[in-house]
Structure 1
Amino acid sequence: MKTVMNQTMPSPPHDFFQNPYSFYERVRTIHPICWGNLLKQSGWYVTGYEEAKTILKDTRFKNRIPLPLATKKYEQLKNIQSEMLLFKNQPDHKRLRFLVSNVFTPRMVDQLGPYIEKTVNDLLQSFQHNKNMDIVSDFAFPLASQIIAEILGVPQEDHYRFREWATSLIHSIDFTRSRKVLVNGNEVMLILRDYFKDLIKKRKQNPEEDLISLLIKEEQQGDRLTDEALLATCILLVIAGHETTVNLISNSMLVLLKHPQQMMELKEKPLLMERAVEEFLRYESPTQMIARIASEDIEINEKKIKKGDQVYILLGAANRDPLQFHEPHLLDFKREPNHHLAFGNGSHFCLGAPLARLEAKIALQSLLAWKDIIKLATPDLQWRELVGFRSLKELKITFE
């Protein structure tokens, strides 16, 4: 197969974090796979849907821990990440995922529905006499914290600590992190390690009906989770259970506030919400980038990717590829098909996808039914400067 000449992507504009999509579109017109140095991360950047899907399913592209050479200052961060399902390759990934997925099932998630509804209603009720709120800090974050804490069996009095922990750790695994952020992430990882070591010890002595107890008991063909893997799984759930859900709910609400006609449609037809959530996932993907490393020379779409090359799959770009999605920049709840890549693809497809979908569906339906009029408090929006995630700093609304 013919290999095309390397084409380098341009530098991102100054407003990249406010609107990355016009930049992604510009890069895609050069080639769906471009060599570049986005935010000081050299490698192949993938903006095409088919190319992204192919790479995500190809096991020759290995997962990797997004850290520079480890130092003792953030050694614990790297050690625990190396045990996480998210950063495992085959065959370890298949074995670990099998054990976790036998416990963290769609049925278990469905059973959380009433608790999610009650938590959402309690949060909204606490603002019943207010005229404004911040969707991110007042609603989405406390909702995600309480749900993931409930799943893990974390005592109620410790729920509030999850927010600070999750925020610190998500910055430490993003590609924009500084060494200072890594050091802080390492310190938080040590706190979480000690916290969950203690909780796991308690559950071994006195099991309950929470995920930790079930994971401790889970055994398949003589295989079970090691203490290290169990600890890493708990911490991964804290990170992923916050970031994906908070971003999905907040981003979706922002999209609706910018599309009042579609908001009214969902108010009148709440049964459309499941399909709407899929479109929100495509339109403003909570996770924007996944990293891989080539384990051998591989050629895709006439691009020769060499062994050891870093590959960055831009999910937000792939989900707006016009070759896959008709009029990709339009919000369309009736889009069919809508095989977006917001939760990845292949063996690493996000295990928590059913939970994120259910939380978003209940949260958004409840928000829209709660007040007749909901508006943006200010048109000036600030996004967190994370290249791996599409994440608002705040989303202030008014209502009546």
Structure 2
Amino acid sequence: SQPICHSVIGGDWVLTRYEDVKSILKDRRVVTVNKGKLIEEKERYLKNRDQNIQALADSTKTFLFYMNPPDHNRLRSLVGQVFSPVKIKEMRPKIETIFNECLDKALSKGEIDIIEDIAQPIPVRMIGMILGIPPNDIKKSFNQWTRTLSRIIDPLIPLAEYETLNQVALEAQQYFHELISQREKDPQQDLISHLITARDESGKLNEQEVLSMCIMLFVTAQDTTVNTIGNGMLALLQHPDQMDKLKQEPEIIDTAVEEILRFDSPVQMATRIANESLKIGGQTIQKGENIHLCLGSANRDPAEFSNPDQFDVLRQKNNHLAFGDGIHLCLGAPLARLEAKIIINSLLQKLPNLKLASNKLEWRKTVATRGLNELLVTVIT
């Protein structure tokens, strides 16, 4: 009823319509939030004044989605080729191999948790391979790093959580600092070695940027994919007619995954700041005001999508905003799409009689992203 809402608390703007959200995502008059600076400002409110949250602030200052041109363009260009559609396509055999390993292990337990057994381990191993993380280093705590650090994009983080976030950021910094030191002595054909070369030979980035880039890629390459797979499998299990269509015609997986991304978006909100006064939808947003963009709501806008609340794996007109738009369009979108297509199609073909083990679902407590803590399914033979 009020698609452009000005909150009396905090003075922030909330946009929910597709046209408005897309417009702001592409508008050069708005900038992304300097999250590192915001985190530093939170420190004064912490109860335990003996602790600081500098590791968390340092880690996020140079996350790509919190940077603006020209620094954003400089850093994105260094890693963009690694995530190009051509490069990602070459990863298909590896994803399929890891999926089969994870599925075999999960089947030995009887009941399968799609999140823990399938959706989490595959993306972490894939981004680990891209970065150059030794396979023996991949451990369960890495999933906890991702689950914890992905909270930073939420605009409503309780103060009590910041010290925990900082501790995890410190652990991630220490790990990647050691790995970077190893690659300095013994370069490999991996992304970390590429970033080190860019730092030392061309001066295109500094030491902190190398470290932050590693942490950002490690976290974001997992979280979005895990949520996409979990939300997608849930939508299919709750809409058996659509699941049957995909089982019978696995070649429609492309449109099915795009519908999953639209119907239950893994990222629900993005925030921008007006860099100058601007008008949108008859409202004037003043310079310096925050603008919260509701991606999930925009993806259900009836003005853009016919029958928006209907889950339709054959939907054709589907220009959703699940991965954002404009210069901050998700860098890892091609990889997330490929992983989701392979995993979802493979699950349905190999385990055609999957059923929800429970109708009780526990969602992660966050505003900006949407994902399940677990998704238990039963394999009916």
Deviates more, 1:199-208 or 1:102-111: 102-111
Q: Which residue of structure 1 lines up, in the alignment, with residue 156 of structure 2? A: 176
In 1, the alpha carbon distance for the partners of 2:203 and 2:321 equals 32
Corresponding residue number in structure 1 for 2:369: 389
Q: Cα distance, 1:128 vs. partner?
A: 2.8
Distance 1:175 1:340 in 2: 22
2:289 corresponds, among 306, 309, 328, to: 309
Contact 2:33-2:271 within 8 A present in 1 as well: yes
The alpha-carbon deviation at position 107 of structure 1 amounts to 2.3
Which of residues 54, 60, 84 in structure 2 aligns to 1:75? 54
Residues 284-303 of structure 1 aligned to structure 2 (within 5 Å): 284-303=264-283
Q: What residue identity is the alignment partner of 2:278?
A: I
Partner of 2:247: 267
SS at match of 2:95: helix
* Within-5 A mapping of 1:235-384: 235-384=215-364
How far apart are residue 336 of structure 1 and its match? 2.3
- Residue 32 of structure 2 is aligned to residue 52 of structure 1: no
Percent of aligned positions with the same letter in both sequences? 41
Q: Distance in 2 between matches of 1:223 and 1:104?
A: 22
Partner secondary structure for residue 126 of structure 1: helix
* Structure 1 residue 315: Cα displacement: 0.3
What per-residue deviation string (whole Å, max 9, x for no partner) do you get for residues 133-162 of structure 1? 111112111122211212111122221131
Give the aligned residue type for 2:170: L
3-state SS of paired residue (1:127) = helix
SS of the residue corresponding to residue 78 of structure 2 reads helix
Shift of 1:113: 1.0
Q: Residue in 2 aligned with 1:138? A: 117
CA contact (8 A) 1:175 1:386 kept: no
Does the Cα contact within 8 Å between 1:70 and 1:78 map onto a contact in 2? no
Paired AA for residue 250 in structure 2:
P
Cα distance per residue 1:196-254 (max 9 Å; x no partner): 11111211221112221223334899452222111111100121012101000000000
- Matched residue SS, 2:83: coil
- TM-score normalized by structure 1? 0.88
Greater CA deviation, 312-321 or 191-200? 191-200
| Runs of 5+ unmatched residues, structure 2 | 44-50
1: distance between equivalents of 2:335 and 2:285? 35
2:63 equivalent to 1:92: no
Query: Equivalent residue of 2:271, what SS?
Result: strand
- Deviation string for 1:40-90 (max 9, x for gaps)? 765111100010011001122111134451426212211221112111011
How far has the Cα of 1:109 moved from its partner? 1.6
How many equivalent pairs are there? 369
Instruction: Report the structure, 1 or 2, having the larger helix content.
Output: 2
Q: What SS does structure 2 have at the residue aligned with 1:136?
A: helix
What residue is the counterpart of 2:133 in the other structure? Answer: 154
Distance 1:204 1:254, change over 3 A: same
Instruction: Give structure 1 stretches of 5+ with no counterpart.
Output: 1-28
Q: What is the CA–CA distance in structure 1 between the aligned matches of 2:11 and 2:219, rounded to whole Å?
A: 26
Alpha-carbon deviations, 1:101-129, whole Å to 9, x = none? 13433222222111110011111111334
CA 1:103 to 1:126, structure 2 compared with 1: closer, same or farther past 3 Å? closer
The offset of 1:274, in angstroms, is: 1.1
Contact 1:171 1:181 in 2 (8 A): no
| More displaced 10-residue stretch of structure 1: 58-67 or 190-199 | 58-67
Equivalent position amino acid for 1:75 in 2: Q
Q: Which residue of 1 aligns with 2:47?
A: none
Instruction: Name the SS for the 1:311 alignment partner.
Output: strand
SS across alignment from 2:220: helix
Could you say what secondary structure the match of 1:162 adopts? helix
Q: Structure 1 pair 107/214, CA: closer, same or farther in 2 (3 Å)?
A: farther
Secondary structure of the corresponding residue to residue 73 of structure 1? coil
Shift of 1:381: 1.0
Kindly provide the amino acid, as one letter, of the partner of residue 5 in structure 2: C
The CA distance in 2 between the partners of 1:42 and 1:391, in whole Å, is 28
Correspondence for 1:4: none
Q: Which amino acid aligns with 2:54?
A: E
How far 1:378 sits from its partner (Å)? Answer: 0.8
Taking the aligned partners of 1:217 and 1:208, their CA distance within structure 2 comes to: 11
CA RMSD after TM alignment: 1.8
Query: Displaced runs of 4+ in structure 1, greater than 4 A?
Result: 218-223
- Shift in Å, 1:176: 2.9
Amino acid at match of 1:83: T
Secondary structure of 1:34's aligned partner = strand
Task: Find the counterpart in structure 1 of residue 4 from structure 2.
Answer: 33
Q: Work out whether residues 103 and 215 of structure 1, in 8 Å CA contact, stay in contact via their aligned partners in 2.
A: no
Secondary structure of 2:292's counterpart equals: strand
Q: Among residues 130, 146, 165, which one is paired with 1:166 in the alignment?
A: 146
